[in-house]
Chain A
Amino acid sequence: MKKIFYNTALLLISIGVLSSCESELDQVPFDEAPQDQVYQTIDDFENATLGIYETLTLPTLYGGSDAGGMLDAPDVLSDNVTFAQRGRGTRFTLHNFLYFPADEVLGGLYARSYEMIYRANLMLSYAEQFQGDPEDISNFVAEAKALRALGHLNVVSFFGKIPTQSSDANGSLGIAYVTSPDFELLPARETVGDVYNKIVADLTEALADINPDNGVARFDTEVVALLLSRTYLYMGQWQNAIDAADMVTSSIAPRDEVNDVWIDESRAGLLFYIPNTQDGLGVTQGVTWSQGGRFALIPEYVVSLELYQLYQNDDIRKMAYTLNASNGQLQFNAIKKAFGRTVGITGQVDFKLFRVAEANLNKAEAYYNLGNESSARTELDIVRTNRYTSPPSGETGVALRDAIRLERRLEFAFESQRFFDIKRWGLPVSREAFGDLADGSGTPSVTLSLPAGNFRFQLPIPQSTIDKNPNLVQNPGY
């Protein structure tokens, strides 16, 4: 009898206890939201759209990075900067064209760009299942497509040729154009021509549905039009580039506001910017160029003396874009565009990605290529009259072409353009042998030139990227 009692008791303990804790195994995260529940409402889609933009602020895109990214690499690869010995030695192989696949140079930019594309694709795939009126989210869909296009344009500009760069460019290795959030995807590289056509298609669709004004830190008609204009310019479709740029109707920043724009005291001439405050995004992207105060500067790169001397004394950009700085006995021409506001955290400024002036310079270049020199000069002079007190003018022929190119270099120095411009014009990178100090003494960059047509104009696909996707083919030469 007693035995039976024991056994029953033991059984009861076991069962009573065992059944009670099963539900504890169903744990849901506290800090994250289940994905299938956050693409339902119009607000959800708006939030998801902001999520795509947020990628732009990350390191290796426009957020600044020691590894190199969208913010800096187009200048680090160019003749606009000189490697500063006083710095931490970042991006040494990038700047000196010593990169190779295992070096993983711009690997972050590659991966982060596709992260932005993935965010867009995931939102777009949920948008197809949206239960409400598709009109209600068509603006978000347009923004997603435009951002997807920008991501691909940035990647292909580094890792592939640019259509106007050489006659074989359109048929050469481009990148994978990804339009689905499938995580089992192993896409191959498409041709440059196909990639550009898809960029144009996405931007064209975006342009049709996007709102004329989406407020701060969002794309709208003018931004997409400018991006489309840039794409056509890269493709050599001059009239299309002009037509798209014509949709940009805002005014260029006047000369007396240019300096204020770069210390965030004016928004003149900005088409797309992202406010960046310490209690908001809090990104200090200026670290990509230098750390420390003006008189204790630790620069990674400085304005090359060659570029510095190209800014005329009556050019407002000389004081708006460059800064006389020092560290002990050493004097530097520091890069000022992301140096910081007059007060606040050093190296922290609003992100400025698209400006009206580009529409003018795109048009100037396109008109010139169409043989319409007078319209080209008109557009060029719109920029120049807003920069110089006594602007040069009246060039014709090759002199006009070179003036347009010079103005583009001066206007968009340290704004993610220079290397692409050199590349698409089929020019070499040639750096003058100035050192890193303000007077040109000190140490010049190790590599002073990259001959036109050299394979290194197309960066190597990072080795780890190829390891993960066996369908990728490496660029020739590596």
Chain B
Amino acid sequence: MKTKFSGILTLLLALVVQLTFAQQKTITGTVTDDTGLPLPGANVIIKGTSTGTQTDFDGNYTISASATQTLTFSYVGFETKEVRVGAQSTISIQLNPGSALEEVVVTGYSTRNQTVQTSAVVSISASEISQLAPTTSIDNMLQGKAAGVQVTSANGKPGQGAFVRIRGVGSLTAGAASPLYIVDGAPIREQDLSNIPNEDIENISILKDAATTARYGSRGSNGVVVITTKSGNRNRDAVIRFSSRYGVTSRIEPNFTMMNAAQKLQYESELYALGITTASTLPGVTTEPGSPERQFLLDNAVDWQDLILKEGVVQNNSVSISGGGEKMDYYFSLTNDRNTGIIDNIQGFERTGTRLNVNFDAKEWLSLGVNVGYSRSFSDEPRDRNNAQNPFRAMLDYNSYEPEFVLDEDGNIVLDENGDPVYNPTRSGFPVRGALLTEPAEEFENTTLGSLDAVVKFSKNWSYGFNASVNWQAARSESYSQPGGILQDILAPNGPQGNKRDRQVHRVDLTLSNRLNYNLRTEDHNLDILGLYEYNMNEFNITQLRKLGFPSAALTTQVHASGFDTNDQNYTLRNRLTLLSYGLFAEYDFKEKYLVGASVRTDASSNFGADNQYGVFYSGSLGWNIAKEDFFAVDEIDLLKLRVAYGTVGNRNGINRYASQAVNVYNPYPVSDSGDSGNASIPDRVANPIIKWETTTTGNVGLEFNLFNNRLRGVTDYFIRNTDDLLFVIPTADEQGIISQGGVQGLEGNLGEIQNKGLEVAIQGDIFRSPDFTWTLGGNILFLDTEIVELPNGQDVTPNAFNIRYSEGRKINEHFLIRYAGVDPATGRSQFYGADGNIYFANELPEGENRVFQGKSTIADKEGGFFTNFNYKGFGLRADFVFKYGNWINNIVKQQRINEGEFIDDNQAIDAFNYWQNPGDTGVLPSPIYTLDDTAITSQSDRFLERGDYIRMRNVTLSYSFPNELLEKSPINSLRVYLQGQNLLTFTKFWGDPEVGLSSGETIPFADVVAPGEVTLYSYPNTKSVQVGLDVSF
């Protein structure tokens, strides 16, 4: 690649030096609002280019443009204005309040004014981002912000990302339903978004329909999120901005209560009295009420939730310096984020990032730009598994009467031979608080995002752009089981002391793109044509080493260890994926009234069969600005735009990078007593040379309107997305025996068809609008229908999920369970519906399949958010709410906490007391005497399937911006202070926290999840926080 890279450059340079260019000049001015107040951060863009700047805190800007060009001035909540440069060198503009939609939309390959935009795109600006609830990963912030975007936070772990789905679920394969994320031209994985500090983000544009996503061809089928980082302003002294935020974080209080020691002991004895012999060895039975033994337990009782959790600290400090000269601009930042999380004994998450973005006009016809960001993060990785090694399960499993340390008869803590307290293994056998100290798992990530840009202007109409973007991640993860630690005693008390795994991962994603632009501007006609040629290469390397036998817990590098762990723990791996793309995109408008867009893109990807690597994706779109028509003279309507778009987009994710090829792998197999191994050759994958692109066809009709002098602003879209040739592991019969080393059973190929359709509505209104006081209300909602249209041979397919099944004509991700029919009042026994619709006890259910579909999916069919924002003089009060409605969650945590004695060793919620006792009892849990006989059916039933509906106040912020008069005599330009709360209020009927993403990260890891929010287990709980902050600039 290196030679090709330099070849491109040479060619480029040889050509451009001979060319001449239109005369550029510097234009300055001020942008103000209708009351004359400066508008800081307003966008000033040279129309039809991606060149632009922002106004500073006094509303001033400087930009370099030619006389024939047109400047576009825009600001959120104001009408966009355009001014032809002509002979002027000072252009000051007053913007009228108006449309929130009147923005410049960044699509990565180009920018477009919202007025002439023909695609369903939502743009979120830096100023909006700064008002949202701060999170360490920006995908979490998108929830409720854009109609049609469904966000399910994976869990509450600091630095953890979210499951983002744009317009439903466009792929059935794990990891493929996420949108494509592009940062300054480079793709980035969803789980790596936490490496980008929020403060550096200028704009997030969410591309929803084919008119724009088709430009990303093979990768745009699940929507595209384009993230642009900040740049400085020309001819401006440096502005130094400092932000600081500090607060506390804690678990969102659960809406159930666990038993205390006395209650649990009572519960144990009650169950034993019913004949539940599993209680016989428990202290509720072996100690008498009122006895000294019982009193000892009560005296030494522990609140495990208090003990395991802590109140954490969240902290952010950032400094940025931005400005520019006549020929260059710069933005520099340094940020530090810390979130200790809520687990006592470990540190949580910390990230430090720095960025420098510079644009430089090397010649009048040549501009160069470089955006480079580096971040380094540290994260503790507590076990997210479904047993007591996970602190969030342990705190519910451990009984309150089990003390943290082993106690002697007098209640004193027993010490070991080294004088350290001896942890009580508890009934679960695993003291997690000790393990958090002796089994540390940590992850360090170094991420460099670089984007290098050269733009050559050949003429007024023609320009050429070259961009190289690199996303390079070097990550290191270490997990250590210290010698003498908790796991040592369980796994190998007589074996090698301690073991440690070191893993280093390198990911490189390189994009080289060549763009040839043609722009035509006349009085009536605007035409932009973009030719694209792009190469993308993604390489993954991993090195892992695991050794055993460490002399001391203080020694943490492998050089000290005495022996190697198993072969499958020591390896290097490497794989590579390439993509070659050609595109031609055109946009045209006539007097901004009639809008036309079209695109065609051909992508070739290395992971498909040799004859199926190429895919062609196209789109066409039309728009009509009705309010701009002369005949349309309704004063109350300021904007009325109708647009339609249709097109195809592809997907190549979710399959092996070499899925078309049959391969064998080698594993060791012993050939001698001394441990020598031979190379066992193992068929790992069957060839599928016909595997090809998954293709989504999207149709979209949208209406944008601004009414009553732009006081009411709205946009609504209706879409239909059909995805066929779904990439999926096509099930092969078990008798065929094809199972890969990764456990993939079947043949990766193209499976049936799915459909998502829906209606999106976003609306905002200014209830009050005056210079001193504004109150804005707004919200958005998605109404979504999903359907599995076609599967091979009409057969149902079972994905890697909890009782989720795909079936033709059904919703995507429907639960497939036996229906629970309540408690029989006469006997107290659970009842279930058979497939015949009759009611049975578990042991009498009819032969055959009794599980059924009930139209209950993990996917919310209504989702969105709403906000209210007051501003009075410098004071602001803003609240943002998010909601989900219509999704169903199988609440396994509830099952395990009110389980009528199945797991009587483990602590229970106090609701468990409410079991059937006498004939005629209703509204009760089943009698514990049947629990063990019925558990196999209960666990396959919908008894704990609950609606996941909720409304949550994600953010509430009270802020004060000091008036300019007060700051005038100080060196301070602007000063804002605020108090912010996150997740302080939740409305739900769900038992537990309804915001469920990951069930258990080690049961189904983030990247393998196909049905987020399917069940509850014990992943990191969501947190709430209260923070105070300060933004100041000089």
Contacts and interface: CB of A to CB of B under 8 A. Distances in A.
B78 interface: no
Interface in B74-119: none
Contacts of B464: 10, 13
B665 A119 contact: no
B771 interface: no
Contacts of A282: 565-569
B566 A50 contact: no
A278 B565 contact: yes
Given A278-B563, A296-B489, A463-B849, A98 B606 contact: no
B310 interface: no
Nearest to A291: B490
Interface in B654-712: 657-658, 661-673, 675, 677-687
Contacts of B569: 282
B675 A280 contact: yes
Given A279-B566, A280-B675, A468 B733 contact: yes
Interface string A168-196: 00000000101001111111000000000
A102 B851 contact: yes
A12 interface: yes
A17 interface: yes
A20 B4 contact: yes
Contact of A85 (B12, B281, B658): B281
B682 A467 contact: no
Contacts of B905: 85-86
B387 interface: yes
A442 interface: yes
A48 interface: yes
A215 B533 contact: no
A372 interface: no
B339 interface: no
Given A27-B576, A278-B566, A296 B429 contact: yes
Contact of A28 (B604, B658, B666): B658
Given A14-B516, A469-B733, A25 B580 contact: yes
B634 to A, nearest CB: 47
A102 B849 contact: yes
A393 to B, nearest CB: 36
Nearest to B904: A85
A392 interface: no
A29 B661 contact: yes
A53 to B, nearest CB: 6
B624 interface: no
B927 to A, nearest CB: 16
Contacts of B575: 29-31
Contacts of A110: 734
Q: Which of B495, B535, B745 has the most CB of A within 10 A?
A: B495
A419 interface: no
A427 interface: no
Nearest to B681: A47
Q: Which of A277, A278, A443 has the most CB of B within 10 A?
A: A278
Interface in A107-152: 107, 110-112, 114-119, 121-122
B35 interface: no
Q: Which of A31, A114, A343 has the most CB of B within 10 A?
A: A31
Nearest to A284: B491
Contact of A278 (B548, B658, B679, B850): B548
A18 B604 CA distance: 12
A22 B604 CA distance: 9
A28 B661 contact: yes
Contact of B613 (A25, A329, A474): A25
A187 B735 contact: yes
B736 interface: yes
A368 B678 CA distance: 43
B662 A36 contact: yes
Contacts of B732: 183-184, 468
Interface string A439-455: 00111101000000000
Interface in A270-311: 274-282, 284, 291-293, 296, 298
Q: Which of A48, A217, A279 has the most CB of B within 10 A?
A: A279
B663 A279 contact: no
A406 interface: no
Interface stretch (B190-198, B929-937, B962-970): B929-937
Given A32-B663, A50-B669, A330-B281, A478 B847 contact: yes
B412 interface: no
Q: What is the interface of chain A mostly: helix, strand, loop, or mixed?
A: loop
B683 A118 contact: yes
A13 B12 contact: yes
A344 to B, nearest CB: 5
Contact of A281 (B458, B566, B578, B661): B566
Contacts of A467: 731, 795-798
A21 B11 contact: no
A216 B795 contact: no
B918 interface: no
A102 B675 contact: no
Contacts of B495: 278, 343-346
B930 to A, nearest CB: 11
B685 A32 contact: yes
B462 interface: yes
Given A29-B661, A216-B671, A279-B565, A111 B737 contact: yes
A37 B489 CA distance: 47
A468 B734 contact: yes
A344 B492 contact: yes
A54 B671 CA distance: 11
B914 interface: no
A397 interface: no
B737 A116 contact: yes
B666 A27 contact: no
A4 to B, nearest CB: 13
Contacts of B516: 10, 13-14
B334 to A, nearest CB: 37
A185 B736 CA distance: 6
A343 B494 contact: yes
Contacts of A176: 735
Interface stretch (A88-96, A245-253, A407-415): A88-96
A256 interface: no
Given A54-B680, A215-B672, A464 B798 contact: yes
Interface string B351-395: 000000000000000000000000000000000000100000000
Contacts of B494: 293, 340, 342-344, 346
A44 interface: yes
Contacts of A28: 658, 661
Contact of A98 (B425, B604, B936): B936
Interface in A300-351: 327, 329-330, 340, 342-346
Given A14-B533, A185-B733, A346-B495, A478 B848 contact: yes
Interface of A: 6, 9-10, 12-14, 16-18, 20-22, 24-36, 38, 44, 46-48, 50-51, 53-54, 57, 85-86, 88-89, 92-93, 96, 98-103, 107, 110-112, 114-119, 121-122, 176, 178, 181-187, 215-217, 267, 274-282, 284, 291-293, 296, 298, 327, 329-330, 340, 342-346, 435, 437, 441-444, 446, 462-465, 467-470, 474, 477-478
Interface of B: 1, 4, 7-8, 11-12, 15, 19, 277-278, 280-281, 387, 425, 427, 429, 458-459, 462, 464, 489-496, 514, 516, 531, 533, 535, 537, 548, 563-569, 573-578, 580, 582, 604-607, 610, 613, 657-658, 661-673, 675, 677-687, 731-739, 745, 747, 793, 795-798, 847-851, 902-903, 905, 932-933, 935-937, 940
15 contacts: A30-B574, A30-B575, A32-B684, A35-B662, A35-B663, A51-B681, A54-B669, A88-B387, A112-B739, A118-B683, A280-B677, A282-B568, A296-B429, A435-B280, A442-B280
Q: Which 3 A-B pairs have the closest CB atoms?
A: A282-B566, A118-B737, A32-B663
Given A34-B661, A346-B490, 8 more contacts: A18-B582, A25-B604, A122-B683, A280-B677, A292-B489, A446-B932, A469-B735, A474-B848
